[in-house]
Amino acid sequence: MEILRYKNANIHFSSQGKGRAIVLLHGFLENISMWDDIILALSKKYRVISIDLLGHGKSENIGYIHSMEDQALMIKFVLDALNLSRYVLIGHSMGGYVGLAFAEHFTDNIKGLCLMNSTPLADSPEKKINRERAIEAVKINYKTFIRMAVPNLFAPYNLLKFKDEVNIVVEQALQMQPQGIIGSLEGMKLRKDRVNELKKLKVPTQLIIGQNDGAIDIELTLESIENTSTEIIIFPDGHMSPIENKSELIETLEHFVKKCYS
């Protein structure tokens, strides 16, 4: 694990393996440890970089709001420091939003973009209200918020099956500072619609969704990318594909990265 200094904040990341680069961007309330098994598989053939997003894991905050653009600029700083110029981006949930912001601003650096349990759509008015409620809940008691929010990311029928994994995600999220949680909620609430940005990309793109994912509007997301070249992969479970569908996900990502670099 390594640390870089960015805007007076420590940024935590890892780089494993050799070869062409893959960049893994975790989701809200997560950190780079969620990728451990996926890194183990992908780093056999590729160089895999995973980065704790601002306010998450061991990366510090740089402001009250962490916009998706703020996150993307930080990612670019890390990748530039590693002397990397072309890479495949794989983003889970909020990491997908960051990946889209990155692709908009640094299109020439992208070899492929995978949105995992994510969407190119902006928050709906209802979703923005829910973000505001979440921010207030975090201000009142962020630990209670985390303990309620994390289990809701899994398909209900998987909560017992993945009880240990759910507890690990909760315990890791409890290490976050409340401001890191609020900054990302504000950033996600304010993010713009990037459907057209996704459509304009001339590199392979992929959307991975779970049939029982309650965190995104699956129907509207699928409608938004109709008649595009984006590959759609549907898993049967919830929002946490890296846990709920790990083996299938690894195989899917291996095929996608191979396609990006073929």
Look at residue 261 in the predicted model and tell me its pLDDT. 98
Look at residue 59 in the predicted model and tell me its pLDDT. 98
Instruction: Copy the structure tokens of residue 228.
Output: 């595009």
**What strands lie across the sheet with 21-25, from one edge to the other?**
2-6, 9-16, 47-51, 21-25, 87-92, 110-116, 205-210, 231-235
Amino acid, res. 51: I
In order of start, what are the domains of the chain with their CATH numbers?
2-260 (3.40.50.1820)
Look at residue 160 in the predicted model and tell me its pLDDT. 98
| Among candidate residues 118, 98, 111, the one with its CA nearest the CA of residue 52 | 98
Look at residue 1 in the predicted model and tell me its pLDDT. 76
**Region for 238 from its dihedrals, namely left if φ exceeds 0, alpha if ψ lies in -120 to 50, beta otherwise:** beta
Instruction: Give the whole-angstrom CA distance, residue 131 versus residue 85.
Output: 35
CA separation, residue 10 to residues 22, 63, 77, 89, 195 (Å): 22, 13, 12, 22, 32
Where would I find the beta strands (DSSP E) of 73-222?
A: 87-92, 110-116, 205-210
Look at residue 227 in the predicted model and tell me its pLDDT. 86
Look at residue 92 in the predicted model and tell me its pLDDT. 98
| Residue 91 · residue 159 · CB < 8 Å | no
Below-70 pLDDT ranges, the chain: none
